Amino acid sequence: MPITEFLSHNAREYGQETCLTEINLDLQDRHNVIWREYELIENNPAGEYRREMTWRVFDEKANRIANLLIRRGIKKGDKVAILLMNCLEWLPIYFGILKSGAIAVPLNFRYTAEEIKYCLDLSDTIALIFGPEFISRLDAVHDQLTKLKLLLFAGEDRPIFAESYDRLTANCPSEPPKVSISDEDDAVIYFSSGTTGFPKAILHTHASLMSACYTEQNHHGQTRDDNFLCIPPLYHTGAKMHWFGSLVAGSKAVLLRGIKPEWILRTVSEEKITIVWLLVPWAQDILDAIDSGELRLEDYDLSKWRLMHIGAQPVPPSLIHRWKKYFPNHLYDTNYGLSESIGPGCVHLGVENIHKVGAIGKPGYKWETRVVDEKGCDITCDEQVGELAVRGPGLMKCYYNDPQSTAAVLKDGWLFTGDMAKMDKDGFIFLVDRKKDVIISGGENIYPVQIEDFLRTNKAVKDVAVIGLPDSRLGEISAAVIELKPGSECTQEDIMEFCVSLPRYKRPRKIIFDKVPRNPTGKIEKPRLREKYGVSNLVADQTEG
């Protein structure tokens, strides 16, 4: 059955219950005096800073947008893009597109005008729903978007080149459209992160979306009593696929607009959150704020918080050991996945396997894994490094309009992930690095993640990225770009002394102190660092090992 049936079921069974809450504490903090007066006068402590939606309203809004799209000539299989910041309207629009039989195309809110145009053209999108943050970017390219038949603006002060989403949907019926949808029908196009150039368009069916629902619910056991805190961007598979567990259970979720540690703990406390999915930098920021005294745990009621899980990038074991010191009663899980495998869950650690922290885990619910050598043969030797391949019900159908790239990664039903991994004797998989990020120095393979995990154990280090730089003698050398914690003092000599316990070939040859850039899903943007430091402007001298 299509995933939209879960929404219809929840609207029937739990229609008057709150399903989504949007919280914007930035607005609240900037208008604190107004906030206090509003609370006293209106007895509504959130006001415009806190918006709620019931399951029935969610379903009705989705039906209205579906009926609008059909009324405006959108047919089954047409592509409709979403370009919005996280907000209460995001998920109803997504589900409305699916209910119409169209294919939803979520866009990264960091895309430049040129990237927006590229992705819309690549995906053959004919309708776009966008928010006020993107007016200037679309103004620059809207006259070049020749395939677009419909531009809908969700917000006030509508630009002249778009129509009003709110006005048009208000005049559409709230009954479900009469569109037949099967599991085999195409459902969504997600885009790869684009860290190696322009992104690829990843096509999934309704069956993929359903597999994500069942995988998430199986791994984390959401019940009607849970309340999930969603912080990452909804355009990405990670956040949304974890929320799918709430959809299956008919439970609540909170969309928090902002990532400050104080906001996260405050929301967990006030909203009685039970499950939080974090990215590595956010978990690190929370721990640093507690260490420094900026946050005091006794100021918050965190008694309902039962599970913290992390994904989207390799998780340093030292981070989880620190986390368990402050939150010893939390269940913990690591999630691994790709947009090509419908997000997190094709591999996961499992809350019962905290003793294996550092591993990404074992095959997820109904998934299979292999670690293979360069010839595609299974590696049976413990600790030998190879490429991770996965197979399961959530594999992409293809890279849309790109058969060559599809053939390069989909082979005999297996997705070759490009991630280098090893498997221990117990069958647990450990990520070593991205295949393209491996540094070959003097004939030795150097895996940056191993060095990054080691350097993060230094108390002065907030974040680190290890990249390969050109070298005339060795081919490449490793350089550690280190972001220090606020107020910490550390020199190149301090870091090199700290690295003495590493094998000589693994020790960084350059130490660079700089901010470590990450994209909205928490992945280190190493191409930016390579571009910045690969040719010139090096800020540290080479250190011979």
How many residues are there in the chain?
A: 545
Name the domain boundary from 378, 405, 434. 434
Name the domain boundary from 413, 434, 455. 434
pLDDT of residue 413: 94
Q: Same domain, yes or no, for 398 and 329?
A: yes
Instruction: Provide the residue type at 5 as one letter.
Output: E
Q: Same domain, yes or no, for 467 and 415?
A: no
For residue 33, give every residue at least 6 positions away whose Cβ sits within 8 Å of its Cβ, in sequence order, or none: none
* Structure tokens that stand for 494 in this block: 């301090």
Assigned domain for 31 exists: yes
Assigned domain for 350 exists: yes
Strands 362-363 and 343-348: antiparallel
Whole-number Å distance between alpha carbons of 50 and 23: 5
Of 350, 431, 345, which is closest to residue 395 (Cα–Cα)? Answer: 345
Residue 16's CB: how many other CB atoms inside 10 A? 9
Give, in order, the Cα–Cα distances in Å from 4 to each of 10, 11, 214.
10, 11, 14
The CATH code of the domain that includes 470 is 3.30.300.30
- The per-type count for the chain, helices as H runs and strands as E runs, is 17, 27
Confirm if 486 and 470 have CB atoms less than 8 A apart.
no
Assigned domain for 544 exists: no
Q: What is the pTM of this model?
A: 0.83
pLDDT of residue 470: 82
Q: Same domain, yes or no, for 418 and 458?
A: no
Assigned domain for 285 exists: no
Whole-number Å distance between alpha carbons of 102 and 69: 9
Give, in order, the Cα–Cα distances in Å from 318 to each of 358, 430, 452, 458.
9, 15, 11, 10
Whole-number Å distance between alpha carbons of 92 and 63: 8
Q: Same domain, yes or no, for 406 and 449?
A: no
Give, in order, the Cα–Cα distances in Å from 111 to each of 93, 119, 137, 256, 399.
20, 9, 9, 21, 19
Range of the domain at 484: 439-533
Whole-number Å distance between alpha carbons of 110 and 415: 27
The CATH code of the domain that includes 169 is 3.40.50.12780
Residue 383's CB: how many other CB atoms inside 10 A? 10
Measured over the CA atoms of residue 26, residue 27, residue 28 and residue 29, the dihedral's sign is: positive
Whole-number Å distance between alpha carbons of 255 and 257: 6
Q: Same domain, yes or no, for 458 and 483?
A: yes
Q: Same domain, yes or no, for 199 and 102?
A: yes
Say which residue the tokens 């969700």 belong to: 154
Assigned domain for 24 exists: yes
Assigned domain for 249 exists: yes
* Structure tokens that stand for 64 in this block: 């209205």
Q: Same domain, yes or no, for 430 and 460?
A: no
Q: Same domain, yes or no, for 14 and 143?
A: yes
Assigned domain for 290 exists: no
The CATH code of the domain that includes 383 is 2.30.38.10
pLDDT of residue 541: 37
* Structure tokens that stand for 421 in this block: 């991994």
Q: Give the phi and the psi of residue 394 in degrees, each rounded to 5.
A: -105, 20
Q: Same domain, yes or no, for 38 and 53?
A: yes
Q: Same domain, yes or no, for 323 and 207?
A: no
* Structure tokens that stand for 348 in this block: 């996961």
Identify the segments of the chain with pLDDT beneath 50.
31-47, 195-196, 536-545
pLDDT of residue 442: 61
Q: Same domain, yes or no, for 480 and 429?
A: no
- The H or E element that residue 211 is part of is helix 206-220
Q: Same domain, yes or no, for 482 and 340?
A: no
How many structural domains comprise the chain?
3
Name the domain boundary from 434, 464, 490. 434
Whole-number Å distance between alpha carbons of 380 and 354: 24
Assigned domain for 112 exists: yes
* Structure tokens that stand for 349 in this block: 């650690």
